[in-house]
Every structure is written in structure tokens, then in C-alpha cells.
Chain A
Amino acid sequence: MRTVDERARELTPPSTPALRLRGISKRYGPVVASDDVDLDVEHGEIHGLLGENGAGKSTLMKILLGLVQRDSGTIMRGDTPVDVHNPQAAVALGIGMVHQHFSLIDALTVWENVILGDTGRIDRAAACRQVEEVSRRYGLPIDPAARVDRLSAGERQRVELIKCLRRDPSVLILDEPTSVLTQAESAELFTVLRHVVRAENRAVILISHKLAEITAATDRVTVLRKGRVVFHSATRDTTPPELARWMVGRDVSLRAEGAALGMLPVDGAPPAGTAPAETASPGTPPSEDTPPTEPPAEPPAEPAAAPAPPAVAAAPGVPSGGAATEIVPALRLSGLTVTTDGVTVLSDLSLDVAPGEIVGLYGVEGNGQSTLGDLLSGLLLPASGTVELAGRPVELERPGALHRAGLGIIPEDRHSSGVVLDMSVAENLVMKSVGDVSGRGFVSRRKMHAVARRLAAEFNIVAPSLDAPVRSLSGGNQQRVVLARELSAGPCVLVAAQPTHGLDVGAIEDMYRRLREAASGGVAVLLISTELEEVMALASRIAVISSGRITGVLPTAEATAERLGMLVGGVAA
């Protein structure tokens, strides 16, 4: 298959690129977001665009889409220079984009979102049919009649993809399209994407922090750093470690890299078909390079399994933690049931997390994780069940009760519930501890800035200034703002939902270190993740969630891809 593809490419004459950028520059005040960027994207190729958080990837793409005006440089479609001064012009030129944030209307249904921006009469039946057809063709299952605000992050991403692909763009830009998809979903997407790109001769620009995706799915790759192109190569002539080095400007630890690479095959759908050559080489699970977890911090790390509620007890392989009876779990979820619109999203979910322990809640996107996250953020109430912190039940009806009881949360959708986009970086950083930076009822700007400056430095937040609105930060840096705030509030329980989505390799490494530090400092960490290698690398126990139920809890040492795969499939092994 590969050879056929290769030949097909060699047969097509070295025609003019689909898209050619010359000397594109863009400054935001003192920040140079794009610095004299040259980029060629050919028909029928997937072009990978890599770079740290804030390297200027999204800015460059927004320029292509007419959302941001460049300071200088030319954009050429084929041989003709074009002027893309607004999104309508980009659509007319056949440039489509799946955005990192912001392009679905929550209050509308899937099919309404998909046809938004078309012209002509609305034909609901035809629209639904088209959605279904595109979704079948690309393997992105979705209910066309569902309202978007009811969908999980993964499902929304699917809608974004469907919306974009349905318009049949000749240049398709995907800005971190898979950050919320499971590995299997991503693999499937890339298989289809690659095939369709070849068959239909489209050009694709793919932005991703996952090096494995880049190496598996792209033909050529460009690395941006501080707005400049620092590296450019055919993908098959480079390696993930080399790319990571170009991105960050230093060597990156193996484990973080392993996670960024996303190499472990998951639940019986190994991405083998997608990644012919590359997957094999560095595709060793982190557990073979390094021990899967930190040498467990001895005293409290043993799971407090003794008073465990039924669901946990029923699970295989939970070590009955001997003398651990004394330890009160820092976080205890018991019998949580949530139903929305008659659908049971969480059903009798019980889980304990001991102080100093990291428990990974692993499962495929859309199995109740986001509901659990919302519940622990205080956004919704369970129909039944309780949440206990340090042995004390929390009155969930009271706003802010969870926060006051010492629960910190890194929400899954940081963009909508993690930060206030129009408030400044400093304000967002101190938001949960306003008391500490104010005297006599007024916020002291001096104190606020001192705290914010410290956190920004500690968490490497790159911002034009501390007074700039969070909106003006790059996606990854917005993320760091949430992390910095939650970790600095000194929680005794930390819930981290998909904490590394959208982070670059360096930042992932940093995040892992911080979560481990938090745990060894006695914080109980609940890590909600769809990335197997992430839970394997961090957690000491892995609970698997499927259809809103915990199907099993395994100590990481006993967790194999097969056993987890069965649990993920809902088979209580």
C-alpha cells in the first residue's frame, strides 16, 4: 500500500504547491508570534506542524484563515497571491480549519452546527443524512440531532471534523484535532484522512503535540520555535527524539516523550495499520524503560482497600492493604449515580483515593468521565451517592463546598470552565485565593502581582504581560494558568481531568513531575485520563470506567493492555 502511494506521488509531476507562504510575520506588541515564516504545502500531502506551546502555530493558521491579519508576507494558492482578509474569503478559497477552540455553537444541534455557514434552504433531513454519511465515511459516529452542549469533548471534536470535512476543502487545517480523541479513534481518523487525502488530492496541515501522530501520519514536517521555522524535513528522514529536541531546544526525558509519543496499543485496536514503520521502533511501553510508577512513597501510598465499597471490592486484584484499615481515604466517592434526560451517565460509581496516592481513572472518552468531572467541579448534583473528603461527607448542594473542603480540580474543558478568558492572567491566577492577596476587602494589586509573578515563573507561563487577558495566551499557556492556580491553592485532593491535553512535550514532563510531587506531598490525586501510557506512567492503581460504571480496579503492576482492554470494553474481567 505504501509503495503504491509512493509511486502515485512520484508520478504526479512536482506541481505547484497547494499553498505557499512567504515571509509571514506577525507581532502582538512585544511578542513575535510569527517571524518570517516560509511554508509550502503540497497537494496530496499531510504536512505536520510542530512547536512548543506559544510557538505560533495557531497564529499562523489563523492568518491563513483570515482571522488574524499578517504584518507582512504573501500567501499563495497555486501560483496566485491571494488576500485572505476574512474567514469568508478563506472558505471561498477552499481553506477549511478544525479549530483548537471555539467553533461550535453549544445551543445548536449537531446538524445545525454542521450546516452553519452554508447557503440556501435548510433541509433538515438532508443535513442529517449528510452528517451520517460523512460520519460513516470517516468513522466518526455521532447523533445528528443531539445538542452540542450535551456532548463530551471527544464528541464535539468529531462534530468539528465532520463540519469541516463535509465542505470538502482543498486545504484542510487541523489544529490539535486529536487532543481529545482516544488513540484508537485518532488512529482510525488518520487512516481515513491519509487515504482520502491521497485519493482526493487534498492538502492537510496537521498541528499536534503528539509526536507519534506526526511521525505516523504526516509526509513532511515543519517545526516552529518562537515564531520561526527551525526545522523542516520529510517525515521519514527524521525521528521523534530529533523532533522533540528541535521543539524544545533540549533533550526530553524518555518517559515524557513516551507519553507524548503515545505508543502503547490500546484496547485491541493497535494503530498498526496507520503507522507502518515508525510505531515499531520506539514503541516500547514506558514500563520497560523505567519503572511504571515512582518507587511508591511508602507509608500512605498503599490503597485503603479495606473499607472499600462493593464496586471496588468486586474488582480483581486489589491488594487487601493489610494494616491499612486505619487510613481514611482522602477522597471517597460512593454510589454516585447521575442521570440526564433519562440516560444513566454514572451508575453507582464508587472509588477511594488515599492520601499520597495517584489513582488513574482510565476509559474511552464519553463513558461518564466528563460527568464525573462536572460533578466534582460542583456543576451538577448526583441523583444519589456521596462524596467524602477526609472522611467527611461534602454537602454538594452548597456552591463551593468541594473547593472549601480542599478539593482542587483541573477541569477537562479548561477553556470554558477553567479560566475567565477576558480577565487578566494575574486575576485568573489568584482567583481561588483572593483572600490571600487582599486586605480590608480590597484586592491589593501589588500582592496579586507578586503571587502571579511567582506562579508564572514557576509554571513557565509565557504571557505578553500579567495584565494581558488570558484570551491572548496560546492554548497551552492557558492550560498552565489553570494548573498553577489549582496546585498553588494547596488542595488535599486533586482531580486532574485530561491534564496533559494540548501540552507540549516539555510541559507534559513538567506536569508529570508536579503531579508526582503533589502525591508525595500527601495529596490524593485522581487522574482522569483516556491515555493509557499516562495512567501507566503515573498511577499506582488504575480504575477502569465503562458506561458510567467502574468495571475494575487494578494495581498498575498487574495491569496489562489486554486486561485493561477487556475492562474498557465493559467486561468485568
Chain B
Amino acid sequence: MSAADDISTILSSGIRLAVPLALAACGEYLAERAGTMNISLEAMMLGAAFGSVATASATGSATAGLVAGVLIGLVIGFVHGNLAHRLEINTFVVGLVLNALMLGLTSYLITISSFDSHQVAQVSVPWLRDIPLIGHPLFVERWPVYLLILVIPLTWWLVERSRWGLELRAVGEQPQAADVTGIRVNLRRRQALLWCGALAGLGGAYLAVGEVGSFNQNMTAGRGYIVIAAVIFGAWRLGRTLLGCALFGLADAMRLALPALGLTLNSQLLVVAPYLLALLAMLVFATGNREPKALGQPFERGST
């Protein structure tokens, strides 16, 4: 009985830890297919986490907090897009600056303010939650978790089946050729960053008002980078990318559960273990070179 319970608990927390990653990954995946290496994912998640807690506290509604998180992600995506794909500032520099800025800003703001704790409601599906082992982890969750059921297929459909996605892929592969065909390359890339911002914002907000109900300094702790790694090692395939996120979530859950199970390990090592594990797994699964050919390259007309 206890073993099954332990597994169930680890699964539960694994899913919760993986959800923000998966949401952000859907965004980053789309942005990268359009050719933007969006480093500012971390800023999007962190800013949204803070904003959601602040908004939830001010309005008394955690859902309003989620919405605020999405908006903040959109704003950062908008800023990144305009700096990188209008003013043609190097996208990596833009990303790093935004990340540093957001870390400093939120760290400062949290010291001068205090917020009430709010969390989004939990959903518990009758009958299904009683399935042994996976019932509780899968069917008793905070409601934004179930947004993934919508977001994942939608992202896939957008990229693989919609005209917008076709143009995004073209822009990420051969922007010069896409331009010649009459596609507005930089506009598409900015739009992709908005999608990325919205989802990363949702992920960051879920981290705060979904899981914890409060904000602490550097709350995302590099999760944005983990997502970027997941997209890369997932070889720019949505399925593999999400698998990477799930693995990281599970490993992180194990780390948290081990002490409770009576196992002691060097705590520093424990902290890096999920990162290492995720990295290893992704390396093993990484296949072929499917990188969008123009990933990270700015587009400027006339250099044909």
C-alpha cells in the first residue's frame, strides 16, 4: 500500500512540476520553428509568476492572476519581437538583457511589497480519480493543468496544419526564400513570439498562483532554460520536447520525495540531479539534425 501511495505522490508532484514547463515548451517550440531562439523565456515565466501573484492579491482572484501572467508574457514577447525582429538587435543579447532585467525587477519588487496568497481551484474528476496509481495524479489537479489538453494539440495543429504555421516554418528555414514568396518574415517571427509569450506567461503564472500561491525570489530558477534545452534535445519535435519536460518534472519530483522516503543523498547533488537526468535522457533520444536552418539568424532583405 505504501509503495503505491509513494508512486502516486511522486507522479502527482511530477505532473505539477512538468505542467509549467510543458506550457512554456509549446510556446518556445513554435517560436523556434519560426527561427527565433527565444532566450527571454525565463523572463516571460518569471515576470508572469510575479505579476500573477500581485494581480491575484489585488483582485482577490487567482484566475485574474493567470490572465495577468499571460498578458505579461505577451508584453515581453512583444518587446523581444520588436527589438530582435524590427530593430534587428541580436536576439540572444535581447534575451539575456530581458532575463537579467526581470530577475532584478521582481527581486526588488518582492522585497518592498507583500501579497495575500491565492490559488486557483482544484478539479477532482469523480470515478476517474479512484483509478489506482494514476487516478489521483491525473484527475485531481488545479484546473489550468487541463488547459494542456487544449494547448498541445492546438500548437501542433498551428505549426503543422495551419497556413500561419506553414509560413512560420518557411520563415524559420529559409527566410530569404520566404520573403521572395511574399511572406512578411519579421512579422511572422514577432507573431510567433507573442504565442510563445502567452504560453510562457501562462506557465509562469501557473507556477505561482497554481502551485504555490505566492512568489519568491527567482522563482523559476532556470526553468526557462530547461525548456529551451528540451526543445533543442527534442530535435524540434513537439512530442519529444514534451517528453523531455515530463522527464524533468518527474526527476524533480523524485528529488523532493527522496528525503521523505528516508533516502539521504548529498543535497547539492540532489538539486542538480534532475537537470543532469533530463540532459542525459534528451541526449539519448536526440536524433538527426532537424534544426530550423535559420534558427537565431536575423533576417534582412536584400542580402540574397
Seen from chain A, the residues whose Cβ lies within 8 Å of a Cβ on chain B are 62, 65, 67-69, 86-88, 90-91, 97, 99, 101-108, 112, 115-122, 163, 471
B136 CB–A CB distance under 8 Å: no
Q: What band does the interface of chain B fall in when counting residues whose beta carbon is under 8 Å from A?
A: 20 to 34
Given A108-B170, A116-B170: A471 touches B303 (CB 8 Å cut-off): yes
Contact status A122-B304, CB under 8 Å: no
CA distance A87 to B169 in the complex (A): 19
Q: Which of B163, B178, B302 contacts A119 (CB 8 A)?
A: B163
Given A67-B304, A105-B177, A471-B303: A121 touches B182 (CB 8 Å cut-off): no
Seen from chain B, the residues whose Cβ lies within 8 Å of a Cβ on chain A are 161-163, 166-167, 169-170, 173-174, 176-184, 292-293, 301-304
Contact status B303-A107, CB under 8 Å: no
CB-defined A-B contacts under 8 Å, sample of 5: A102-B177, A107-B169, A117-B182, A122-B166, A163-B181
CA distance A171 to B277 in the complex (A): 59
Residues of A within 8 A of B161 (CB): 122
Q: Which residue of A lies closest to B164 (CB)?
A: A122
Residues of B within 8 A of A97 (CB): 180
Q: Which of A87, A121, A122 contacts B180 (CB 8 A)?
A: A87
CA distance A62 to B303 in the complex (A): 12
CA distance A471 to B167 in the complex (A): 24
Given A67-B302, A108-B173, A116-B170: A103 touches B163 (CB 8 Å cut-off): no
Main DSSP-derived SS at the A contact region:
loop
Contact status B167-A116, CB under 8 Å: yes
Contact status B170-A102, CB under 8 Å: no
Contact status A104-B303, CB under 8 Å: no
Residues of B within 8 A of A99 (CB): 180
CA distance A116 to B168 in the complex (A): 11
Contact status A116-B166, CB under 8 Å: yes
Q: Which residue of B lies closest to A100 (CB)?
A: B304
Given A105-B170, A108-B166, A116-B170: A87 touches B179 (CB 8 Å cut-off): yes
Q: Which of B163, B176, B184, B301 contacts A120 (CB 8 A)?
A: B163
Please name 16 further chain A to chain B contacts, defined as beta carbons within 8 Å, in addition to the given A67-B301, A116-B178, sorted by A numbering.
Answer: A67-B179, A88-B182, A102-B177, A105-B169, A105-B174, A106-B173, A107-B169, A107-B173, A108-B170, A112-B166, A116-B167, A116-B170, A116-B183, A119-B163, A120-B163, A122-B163
CB distance from B291 to the nearest CB of A (A): 10
Residues of A within 8 A of B183 (CB): 116-117
CA distance A68 to B302 in the complex (A): 6
**B162, B177, B293 — most chain A CB neighbours (10 Å):** B177
Q: Which residue of B lies closest to A88 (CB)?
A: B182
Q: Which residue of B lies closest to A167 (CB)?
A: B182
Contact status B173-A105, CB under 8 Å: yes
Contact status A91-B182, CB under 8 Å: yes
Residues of B within 8 A of A120 (CB): 163
CB distance from B110 to the nearest CB of A (A): 44
Q: Which of B169, B174, B292 contacts A102 (CB 8 A)?
A: B174
Contact status B177-A104, CB under 8 Å: yes
CA distance A122 to B160 in the complex (A): 11
